[in-house]
Amino acid sequence: MTQNQSNQTTPQQRTIPVCEPTLNGNELKYVTDAIQTGWISSAGKYITQFEEKFAQYCNVKYGVSCANGTLAIHLALAVMNIGEGDEVILPSFTMIGSCNPIVQLGATPVFVDSELETWNIDPAQIESKITPKTKAIMVVHTYGHPVDMDPILTVAHKHHIPVIEDAAEGHGAEYKGRKIGSLGDIACFSFYANKIITTGEGGMVVTNNEQWATKAKNLRNHFFGQPRFLHQETGYNFRLTNVQAAIGLAQVERIDQLVNARRHNAALYNQKIKAAGIRGLITPPQASWAKNVYWMYGLLVQESFGLSMPQLCAELSKRGVETRTFFIGMHKQPCYINYHGKNKPHCSGPYPHAEFLETHGFYLPSSSHLTESEIDHIVATIKAIQQEHQK
């Protein structure tokens, strides 16, 4: 069933997916042009335009596209020459794509717990994790809420450590009026199908550092030189295609509309959950200094709801509402706990807030084109589940 076909049914007639791409702009027009002109691989006008437009949107000078968000993080680390013997500080509460590139480059991840106020890395715990081996601090703007950057930047500048923004989940989010992606030294975005803007699969590194941007472009494309088949460094094949960039350009043209739709839907969820009198749900954070873009509309389930988070998710699934649980902390990943390399991740805790978020958190359907009638149905379903289990 296509997106347009599915939206012609009522909420009760179909399973409401947790997230679908919204592709109702110039995507088909631009992709058709790329195909008809034969520019379907890793060169073409759409790559250049997509990189320029997205960098401009983030208020930075340079954008370097690549095949996915994980590889964007890999490129960011690589241009900083982070590798064996180095350490990178990051939150335990994140998706493993934030962490794997650190390990794969031979560096050691050092985990920090999150704060419950924003669900992001706790700035107060970072400085104690810094050692002479620390070569970067990576923040993750979790589920679309920006990290409290000022205290982190203060610590980073004090110790002369660069800051990487993992902005995969936060296109358009703002910290004190400034776009994420422009706050640290380098930032990484994902354009996976469930992101606010998408290329299907894809990623981008953005930075104001011309040297890093040039190196990232070379690294993503085998580090071809002059003559072409003489390579000064071992690069990668991390390229985005012109067809994907065509989709991305069409998405960037409508990014404000897509961001506003997520924020509008989150406001409707908040309003309707409160109006329904549903107890025991903590709605997503919204700090006074932040613009949360609600990549995913997340909830924390308290004991007073009457069911645990897994039980509520199971009941919603039975009733045709898809959900996803929150991340499982990096400190609990078997692949890291049982890792035998010299750069074994620092998994010893405690990380109580990361574990609380994991065991209590899930998110509801969050597509930009989610309708108010679908939100009404979802909230009514949650209310009905609570009432049924009070009997």
Rounded CA-CA distance 79/25 in Å is: 35
DSSP string over 22-67: ---SSHHHHHHHHHHHT--SS-SHHHHHHHHHHHHHTT-SEEEEES
Decide: 105 and 135 in contact? Cβ < 8 Å.
Answer: no
Catalytic residue among 61, 133, 179, 195: 195
d(CA 308, CA 349): 25
Cα–Cα dist 107/101, whole Å: 9
Q: State which amino acid sits at residue 110.
A: V
Respond yes or no on whether the N-terminal peptide bond of residue 350 is cis (omega within 30° of 0).
yes
Helix (H) / strand (E) element for 205: namely: strand 203-207
Q: Is 158 part of the annotated catalytic residue set?
A: no
**CB-based contact 53:83 (threshold 8 Å):** no
Q: Which residue, 257, 166, 164, is CA-closest to 203?
A: 166
- Nearest CA to 285 out of 391, 179, 141, 158 is that of 141
Give dist(CA 122, CA 19) in Å, integer. Answer: 28
Active site residues: 195
